[in-house]
Amino acid sequence: MPDHDSPSPPPTSGGVPQPARKRRARWLPSLVWLIPIVAAVVGVSLLINTLASRGPEINVTFRSADGLTPGKTAVRYKDVDIGLVKSVRLASDRSHVIASIELTKDAESFAVKDTRFWVVRPRFAISGVSGLETLLSGAYIGVDAGKSRESTRNFIGLEVPPVVTADASGRQFVLRAQDLGSLDIGSPVYYRRVQVGQVVAYQLDPNGRDISLRVFVNKPYDKLVNGDTRFWHASGVDLKLDANGLKLSTQSLVTVLLGGVAFQAPDNSTATQPASENTQFLLASDQSEAMKEPEELAPALAVLNFDQSVRGLSPGAPVDFRGVIVGQVRSIGIEYQRDKKAFRMPVVVEFYPSRMGFRERDVSDEAKKRSIVQGLVKRGMRAQLRTGNLLTGQLYVALDFFPKAPPPKDLDLNATMPELPTTPGTFDELQAKLGDIVNKIDKVPFDQIGQDLRTSVVSMNKMLDNADKLVTQLHGDVAPQVLAALQDARRTLNAANGTLASDAPLQQDTRRMMQELTRTAVSLRALTDYLERHPEALLRGKTEKE
């Protein structure tokens, strides 16, 4: 049908008409294409959002992949997910595994050098039980945020959770000890038996003889640690049996299993400024040792040579001077004397001059120091082993004066380690005397004495037999005569009784004689009285008037 709007084509030669030309209409899209376009836009926006929220990818090294599941194990900080484990692969040397973790965008600040990672799983240790919530939810990776400004992508994971995290308030201190004892990571730290911190780490020093421990004291108790503070082992039960006797000290029940560290400043401490972080302190074995006053003078060494047994003497035994501890035993040895073909026991002791009343001016000059020692030795000062505990047989070294002690021989006071004279102990002297008594008793001829005693017993038996015969003879021959003599004596006594009876003639005559004597005495008394009153009657006689 022809288009009336367009001009008619001109006729062609031959009468054939030309085709009409018509302009093409503009194309409009169909609604079918709207859905994929919207989907593409949404996908691009999600991709952009994902890339925008995606954080750094880090690698954490662990000993094993226990509890790590790619795409499932989360990384949590304060129970908030900040990442996810993407993959776990074995290292080329097969000594560890490497976990690739993708952190979230807002956790980008965790990728610093001092951040710590560890796997949270159920753990049973002497410090307690942790990670029980993972029995249902599964293991996850815990994080302790670091404070460093140096970024990194490679970390070494911890095998155990840290005792103290970076956000804890307080300070750490370093303790130097010779023995770890019963301490472990997580062991409590006490101040006056109140727990104020815990042990966070320990390691053996390169010299192989000392141990360094790091303890964390919580805030505000960290201000209690100053320059005069003393630290010591606070084990659950401290039982000590030595030359000083039996000592028993107990702490809290927790320290029975965990051990612990206690600290306190002396009562006379004048320090007020708190110690700075990482300050080093010595860790004493017990409270008594920690609270000892520091020695004003350097200790002096000397050697004591004993010719007796040193069984019961041990390093650390006290050196006593009249009840005051002035030193301790450092070592005990044995030495062979080739000239005497004998052994002796050298004991190295450590003296504290300040405890013996000496001052710096007394020990600073070597000549003056030797003069003081020579004077004491000349007065009879000797070292002696004595029993400190009869129950255990512990010995200690006692210094005292023995005026009757013989002068020492070959005593060298000028040596690097001077030698001090010794004297045998009282117990050894008693043993020697008992030995002499036993030797003398051994020399007594007990066999000969027994034979002589046996002969004497035989002679005594013969004498007793003769005595029995004599008694029998006396009973047969002498007894009748004795009986007759007794009868005669009885008759004599009867006669005497008859004579002394009240109605006997002798008694009557005696009674009349006594009456006459009484009258005579009365007359003499009357005459005497008269003569006392009238002494002139001796010359003139009695007058008529009278």
Residue 116: what pLDDT? 92
Instruction: Examine the domain organization and report whether 208 and 271 are in the same domain.
Output: yes
Q: Is 376 exposed, middle or buried (0-12, 13-18, 19+ CB in 10 A)?
A: middle
Boundary of a domain, candidates 383, 413, 440: 440
Do 357 and 337 meet the contact criterion of CB atoms below 8 Å apart?
no
Cα(188)–Cα(193) distance, rounded to whole angstroms?
10
Q: Is residue 199 part of a domain?
A: yes
User: Has residue 509 been placed in a domain?
Assistant: yes
**CA–CA separation, 511 and 136 (whole Å):** 139
Measured distance CA(424)–CA(430) in Å, rounded = 10
**pLDDT tens digits, residue range 79-115?**
899 999 999 999 999 899 999 999 988 888 899 998 9
Q: What is the pTM of this model?
A: 0.54
Output the pLDDT for position 245: 57
Q: Do 282 and 304 belong to one domain?
A: no
Reported residue count of the chain is: 546
Q: Which of 294, 292, 278 is nearest to 212 (CA)?
A: 278
Total domain count, the chain: 4
- What is the predicted pLDDT for the residue at 2? 46
Residue 7 forms part of a structural domain: no
Assess whether 318 and 211 both reside in one domain: no
pLDDT 10s digits, 454-477 = 787 778 878 877 777 777 766 666
The Cα–Cα gap between 382 and 403 comes to 10
First to last CA, the chain: 235
187 and 279, same structural domain?
A: yes
Whole-angstrom distance, CA of residue 18 vs CA of residue 461: 190
DSSP for 230-297?
EEEE--SEEEEEETTEEEEEE--SHHHHH--EEEE--TT----SBPPTT-EEEEESSHHHHTSPPPSS
Instruction: Give me the percent of the chain exceeding a pLDDT of 70.
Output: 78
Residue ending a domain, among 231, 264, 290, is: 290
Same domain, 304 and 286: no
106 close to 55: Cβ distance less than 8 angstroms = yes
Hey, is 481 helix, strand or coil?
A: helix
Instruction: Give the model's pLDDT for residue 4.
Output: 47
**286 and 313 inside one domain:** no
In a domain, residue 33? The reply is no
CA atoms within 13 A on the CB side of 324: 10
Q: What is the pLDDT of residue 533?
A: 78
Structure tokens at 17: 């008409």
Based on the domain organization, do 180 and 274 belong to the same domain?
yes
Q: Cα separation of 325 and 385, whole Å? A: 14
Domain that holds residue 269: 170-290
Among the candidates 238, 266, 290, a domain finishes at 290
Shared domain for 435 and 328, answered yes or no, is yes
Long-range contacts at 131-136 (CB < 8 A, ≥ 24 apart): 134/67
**Is residue 261 within 8 Å of residue 296, measured between CB atoms?**
no
Residues 436, 306 share a domain: yes
Task: Answer yes or no: is 8 within a domain.
Answer: no
Give how far the C-alpha of residue 18 lies from the chain's centroid of Cα atoms, to the nearest Å.
126
CA pair distance 287, 266, nearest whole angstrom: 11
**Cβ neighbours, 10 Å, residue 308:** 17
- The answer to whether residue 482 sits within a structural domain is no
Any domain includes 474 = no
Q: Are 301 and 330 contacting, i.e. CB atoms less than 8 angstroms apart?
A: yes
**Residue 61: how many CB atoms within 10 A of its CB?**
15
Residues 323 and 273 occupy one common structural domain: no
Q: Is residue 471 part of a domain?
A: no
- The string of pLDDT tens digits covering residues 40-51 is 878 777 777 666
One digit per residue, the tens of pLDDT, for the chain of length 546 reads 444 444 555 555 555 666 666 666 565 566 667 777 778 878 777 777 666 667 889 999 999 998 899 999 999 998 899 999 999 999 999 899 999 999 988 888 899 998 999 999 887 665 556 666 777 778 899 999 888 889 899 999 998 888 888 778 899 999 999 888 888 888 889 998 899 999 988 898 888 888 999 999 999 999 999 989 999 988 756 566 555 555 656 565 556 666 789 999 988 888 889 999 999 999 998 888 888 877 667 788 888 888 888 888 889 899 999 888 888 899 999 988 888 888 888 999 998 888 887 877 777 777 787 888 888 888 888 889 988 877 777 889 999 888 888 888 777 777 778 888 888 876 666 666 666 777 777 777 777 777 877 787 778 878 877 777 777 766 666 667 667 777 777 777 777 666 666 666 766 777 777 887 888 878 777 777 777 777 777 666 666 655
Task: For 493-503, write each residue's pLDDT tens digit.
Answer: 777 666 666 66
Residues 245 and 314 in one domain: no
Whether residue 172 contacts residue 278, with contact meaning beta carbons closer than 8 Å, is answered with: yes
Query: Three-state SS across 375-404?
Result: HHHHCCEEEEEEEEECCCCEEEEEEEECCC
Please answer whether residues 358 and 297 qualify as being in contact, where contact means their C-beta atoms are separated by less than 8 angstroms. Answer: yes
185 and 228 belong to one structural domain: yes
Cβ 198 vs Cβ 243: under 8 Å: no
